[in-house]
Structure 1
Amino acid sequence: MNYTLNQLRIFSTIVQTQSITKAAEVLHLTQPAVSIQLKNFQNQFEIPLTEVIGKKLYITDFGKEMAIAAENILNEVYAINYKTLAYKGQLTGRLKISVVSTGKYVMPYFLTDFMKQHPGIELVLDVTNKSKVISSLENNEVDFSLVSVLPTQLAISQIELMQNKLYLVGSQETDVGPKPYTMRLFETIPLIYREAGSGTRLVMERYLENNGLTVLKKMELTSNEAVKQAVIAGLGYSVMPLIGIKNELENGQLRIIPVENFPIKSVWSLIWLSHKKMSPVAGMYLAYVKKQKDAIIQERFNWFENYQ
């Protein structure tokens, strides 16, 4: 065996993302570079680590066992690095956070100054949909998760960060008729949905169901950015979080449709397992958030809090 730490890191990321393309994005490498390293790693084993069926990558049972071993080895390497820095008086370790996709517009601002204060900390930030975020928390793969819809099946603790506001939006070119817009408007317009498992979709579906509305589902897309571009192109309308459409509202690509009972409001919350024993890094970060969250909101999100 002559595998490298880089190969272990790449293989571990492939297993986590279930995709060579996504692994390349996470690692900031080209797809061919990741494929080559996977091939070189695979050549050291007689048993397949992965298999491709219908263009989809699957991890074999042997590959899953190797991924666990790889992660253990990498954790030991990280521990060596952290202990070295700790002897120099620096707070060290890994901070792992999973974030729902629209939370990518929120979470970085609650991390920037903390990371600058503690350069010995390695941040692992996974941006995905709500169901995967909750799964990573439930499996104790992360220290914290950022959500706008709280899970009901887990014993969690939480700290509320800031509001989340969702509006019905369309492109500037679309015409939905004269005001005022009642909730029955939803029965006359083509709606663009996020994928199943999305928190935004869950909120939208709850609103429609609670008001007994029958709608035309135009299409389903797998990211907030994809929905945004479809709406801008005039393919339909969608319920979207204000936090992710500021620029498009300012430059006139999108407009808010002032329908009754909107915006739908919820709260961005940082959550963690109630029984979790926090690492020194996680404990320090939680203390930082509790102390600094109001100042961060005032400095970074004043426009959002005051938006009606």
Structure 2
Amino acid sequence: MDYTLSQLQIFLKIVQNQSITKTAEELYMTQPAVSIQLKNFQNQFSIPLTEVVGRKLYITDFGRQIATSAKRVLNEVDALNYTSSAFKGELTGRLHISCVSTGQYVLPSFLSGFMEQHKGIDLQIDVTNKLQVIESLERNEVDFALVSVLPKKLNIHKEVLLPNRLFLIGKSAKNTAINSKNENKTSNTPPKIIKKAQFESMQLIFREQGSATRDSMEGFIHKHKLPVHKRIQLATNEAVKQAVMAGIGYSIMPVIGLKYELRNSALQIIPFKGLPITTNWCLIWLKAKKLSPAATAYLEFIQQEKQHIIENKFSWIKDY
């Protein structure tokens, strides 16, 4: 046997996800790279670890036993690393956070100072949609989750970080249909509040099912009984943003991910009655969860430093 720790980590993630694609996304690898590592790992065993049925990946019973052993090996390796760091007087351990995809614009700013102070901590962040974030929290697979909409069926604690505001977004005012009648309007002039009839003519771009942004957008449309006749679905916030900038359509999006596009006039906020939708970005954890020393230290850091972080990193949000 000549497997590597990296192969064990990749295989364990594949077992958890039962998906090459999702594993590649979470590990920031290409799908071919993950497939090659799985093949190299499989070549060391005469019994199949996985099987594909109807284009879906399944883990065999033997594969699950290997995954259990792999997890035990990786835990022992972590213990060795933590012991070494502890002898140096460093805070050690693993901090595992699940984050909704738009939260990638929020979480790094609330982590960088902490990780700089505690270099002995291993950080794992899973970036995915709201549905999967809540499932990982419910299964007690993570220490914390970062969400903008609180789960209704879980007993949780929360730490509010900052507001999350969603606006109707379109490409820059220069060449949009919404402002085509105002030929003398400059890109710096705020557009007028559009009406229901104009909304009906828009091609709307939605996030995928399970996304909190999509839920908020659909909830707003349903509440105000807005007509929607043209729609596109895209899988990520970045994909939606690029499509809007290209003039493909409009979307209701969190302003947190639009800082540079708004400042550079690549995008504009289109005023519409009832917007913005306002929620809060919250760090949440299970009430029954016994936080590790690393998780406890992180929570204390957030409670002490969050106002300073908000003032330094997110004060621009007040402009919108």
The residue aligned with 1:175 is 177
Name which of structure 1's ranges 188-197 and 36-45 shifts more when overlaid on structure 2. Answer: 36-45
Candidates 176, 194, 203, aligned match of 2:216: 203
SS at structure 2 position matched to 1:125 = strand
Q: Flag the 1:35–1:279 CA change in 2: closer, same or farther, 3 A.
A: same
Would the aligned equivalents of 2:168 and 2:269 in 1 still touch at CA under 8 Å? yes
TM-score (norm 1): 0.93
Looking at structure 1, the residues matched to 29 and 206 of structure 2 have their Cα atoms a distance apart, in angstroms, of 31
The residue aligned with 1:307 is 319
Per-residue deviation, 1:34 = 3.5
Candidates 193, 199, 202, aligned match of 1:189: 202
1:290 and 2:303 aligned: yes
Looking at structure 2, the residues matched to 99 and 263 of structure 1 have their Cα atoms a distance apart, in angstroms, of 22
Name which of structure 1's ranges 207-216 and 41-50 shifts more when overlaid on structure 2. Answer: 41-50
1:4 and 2:4 aligned: yes
Per-residue deviation, 1:32 = 4.7
Structure 2: where are the runs of 5+ without partners? 182-191
Q: CA RMSD in A?
A: 2.0
Per-residue deviation, 1:109 = 0.3
Q: Flag the 1:29–1:263 CA change in 2: closer, same or farther, 3 A.
A: closer
Per-residue deviation, 1:252 = 2.1
SS at structure 2 position matched to 1:119 = coil
Per-residue deviation, 1:262 = 1.1
The residue aligned with 1:163 is 163
Per-residue deviation, 1:286 = 0.3
Name which of structure 1's ranges 231-240 and 16-25 shifts more when overlaid on structure 2. Answer: 16-25
Per-residue deviation, 1:7 = 1.9
Deviation per CA, 1:67-109, whole angstroms, max 9, x where unpaired?
2331222112101210121121100011000000000000000
Looking at structure 1, the residues matched to 289 and 48 of structure 2 have their Cα atoms a distance apart, in angstroms, of 36
Count of aligned pairs: 307
Q: Flag the 1:24–1:222 CA change in 2: closer, same or farther, 3 A.
A: closer
Identity %: 57
Deviation per CA, 1:270-291, whole angstroms, max 9, x where unpaired?
0000110000000000000001
Looking at structure 2, the residues matched to 43 and 56 of structure 1 have their Cα atoms a distance apart, in angstroms, of 21
Matching residue's letter, 1:248: E
SS at structure 2 position matched to 1:176 = helix
The residue aligned with 2:83 is 83
SS at structure 1 position matched to 2:319 = coil
The residue aligned with 1:141 is 141
Looking at structure 2, the residues matched to 202 and 34 of structure 1 have their Cα atoms a distance apart, in angstroms, of 32
SS at structure 2 position matched to 1:89 = coil
1:243 and 2:264 aligned: no
Would the aligned equivalents of 1:193 and 1:238 in 2 still touch at CA under 8 Å? yes
Matching residue's letter, 2:81: N
Looking at structure 2, the residues matched to 201 and 28 of structure 1 have their Cα atoms a distance apart, in angstroms, of 24
Per-residue deviation, 1:61 = 4.1
1:121 and 2:121 aligned: yes
Name which of structure 1's ranges 146-155 and 27-36 shifts more when overlaid on structure 2. Answer: 27-36
Would the aligned equivalents of 1:168 and 1:257 in 2 still touch at CA under 8 Å? yes
Would the aligned equivalents of 2:26 and 2:126 in 1 still touch at CA under 8 Å? no
Deviation per CA, 1:97-129, whole angstroms, max 9, x where unpaired?
000000000000000010000000010011100
TM-score (norm 2): 0.89
Q: Flag the 1:45–1:199 CA change in 2: closer, same or farther, 3 A.
A: same
Name which of structure 1's ranges 212-221 and 29-38 shifts more when overlaid on structure 2. Answer: 29-38
Matching residue's letter, 2:178: V
Per-residue deviation, 1:184 = 5.0
Looking at structure 2, the residues matched to 219 and 63 of structure 1 have their Cα atoms a distance apart, in angstroms, of 39
Looking at structure 1, the residues matched to 197 and 51 of structure 2 have their Cα atoms a distance apart, in angstroms, of 49
Per-residue deviation, 1:217 = 4.1
Would the aligned equivalents of 1:169 and 1:237 in 2 still touch at CA under 8 Å? yes
